[in-house]
Amino acid sequence: MTLIKSISGIRGTIGGQVGDNLTPIDAVKFASAYGVWLKQQRNKENYRVVVGRDARISGEMIQNLVMNTLVGLGIHVIDLGLSTTPTVEIAVPMEHADGGIILTASHNPKQWNALKLLNEKGEFLDAVEGAKILEIAESDTMDFADVDSLGKITKNDAYIDLHIDEVLKLPLVNAKAIKDAKFKVVVDGVNSTGGIAIPLLLERLGVEPIKLFCNPTGHFPHNPEPLKEHLGDLSKKVVEEHADFGIVVDPDVDRLAFMDEAGDMFGEEYTLVACADYVLSKTPGNTVSNMSSTRALRDITEKHGGTYEASAVGEVNVVKLMKKNKVVIGGEGNGGIIYPDSHYGRDALVGVALFLSLLAEKKMSVSELRKTYPNYFMSKKKIQLTPGLDVDGVLKTIETRYQNEQLTTIDGVKIDFAQSWAHLRKSNTEPIIRIYTEAKSQKEADGLADKFIEEISYIAKT
C-alpha cells in the first residue's frame, strides 16, 4: 500500500515497510516536518499544538509518537485524547495554539491512520503549505530542541463538552423547539468518538439517544464509510425502537448521514441540502459544495434567491471558495456540513443541531421532509489503481472524447449532460479513481457510472 501524501494529510496503513506505509518512523518524520514548518511561520518564545485522535486501534500509538516528536522540537502539546476532527479544529483558536494535528483516517477501515494538519485558525493547510511540509520531511535538516528547551504535554479532556457549548450558542440552533419535539434518535457511532460526542449533544438538546456501536474501541462493526450498504443494523434498530430517525457519523465525526423513521436512508448528499435549506430560510445568501456533490444544493440555493458554485474536491478547496463567495453555509455532499458562523470545518455536531432545528420547526417526519427536496440519484463507484497506470493520461483521453459536452477540469474531469453528470478523479485519500454520477433515477446513475468504468478499462488497456 502506498503512503498517500496530499492536501488531506499524510495517510497510510499501519505496519509494513518505511515509506510505503504509515510506520512509526513515518509518523515521526512527518510530525517533525510539521513542527519545523510551524516554527518557521512565526518567531516566538513558546509554540503550542493541539492534538486529538479518533478511536482507531493504532491511535494511541501514533498520537504518542506525534506528541513526543513535537516535545522534542520544543513545542508544547495540548492533548485532547479521544476527540473528533471538528473538536480539535475548534480547540486550536480557543487555546490560542499555533496549529493542530488530528490522528484519524476518517472513513477508511481500521488498518488505516493519518495525520491531518491544521493551521493557527484550526483550518486545514492548503496545497502550498502541505508541499512545504513534504519538502521539509525529505530534507533531513530538522533541528531539535536541547534538553532545557523541550516542550511539555498538558492533558485536557473537556473539549467535547466545550464544543457542544459552542454549538448550543449558535443563534439558529432552536434548542427550545427541539426539546419540545421530544425526539427519540438512534445513533450509530461506529465504535469511535462519535459514540461519545453525538449522544452528549442530543442529551443537552433534550433528545433521547438510543446508542448503537457507541463504545469507542476502534473495532469498527461495519465499514466505517456512512453509506446505505453498511447500515443494515442501524436501519433495523430505528424500526425496532420506533425512533424518529437515525444518525450515523464516520470515525472522526466530520461526516453525517441520516436515516428516516422507516429505516431508509435520507441520503448523505441531502444532509447538506437540508441544513442549507434551514440556514438559507433564516439568513439568505450563497452556498458552495464540491464538484462531486448533488445538484439539489444548487436548486435549493436558487429557490432561496442565492447563488451556488462548485469547488474542486477537498475540504480546503471548499473552504477557500466559501470565503471568496462569502457564503452562509457550504460543505461536501459526503455529509460534510461547514457552517462559517461556527467554524470553517466539516462538523457533524453542527449538522445534527441544524437538522434537528429544521425538523422541529417544520413539524414533519424525516421521510416527509425528504419529499420536499428535488429528487436526484447518485452512484459512487471506484476503480483500484494498478501499478503503472497513467491516470492523468486516461483522464485526458476522456476529456478529448467528451470535448463537445460541458466540461470542468479543475479536479479530474466533470462532464455535465442535460439531465445528469459524471465526475472522474483520482482520490486524495485512497489509491483509486473515483467515478461519481448523478441522474434522475438510480438505474440511470448506475448505468452512467458503469459506462465510464468500462470506458476507463478500455482506455487503460490500449
| 3 state SS for the chain | CCCEEECCEEEEEECCCECCEECHHHHHHHHHHHHHHHHHHCCCCCEEEEEEECCCCCHHHHHHHHHHHHHHCCEEEEEEEECCHHHHHHHHHHCCCCEEEEECCCCCCCCEEEEEEECCCCCECCHHHHHHHHHHHHHCCCCCCCHHHCCCEEECCCHHHHHHHHHHCCCCCCHHHHHHHCCEEEEECCCCCHHHHHHHHHHHCCCEEEEECCCCCCCCCCCCCCCHHHCHHHHHHHHHCCCCEEEEECCCCCCEEEECCCCCECCCHHHHHHHHHHHHHHCCCCEEEECCCCCHHHHHHHHCCCCEEEECCCHHHHHHHHHHHCCCEEEECCCEEEECCCECCCCHHHHHHHHHHHHHHHCCCHHHHHHCCCCCEEEEEEEECCCCCCHHHHHHHHHHHCCCCEEECCCCEEEECCCCEEEEEECCCCCEEEEEEEECCHHHHHHHHHHHHHHHHHHHHC
For this structure, is 106 an active site residue?
yes
Q: Under a CB-based contact definition with an 8 Å cutoff, are residues 352 and 256 in contact? A: yes
Cα torsion angle, 324, 330, 334, 337, sign: positive
Active-site annotation holder among 58, 106, 235, 289: 106
Q: Do residues 178 and 185 make contact, with C-beta atoms less than 8 angstroms apart?
A: no
Residue 89 near residue 73 (C-beta atoms within 8 A): no
Cell numbers representing residue 116 in the block: 491531518
Residue recorded with cell 511540509: 133
C-alpha–C-alpha distance, residues 222 and 232, integer Å: 9
The residues carrying an active-site annotation are 106
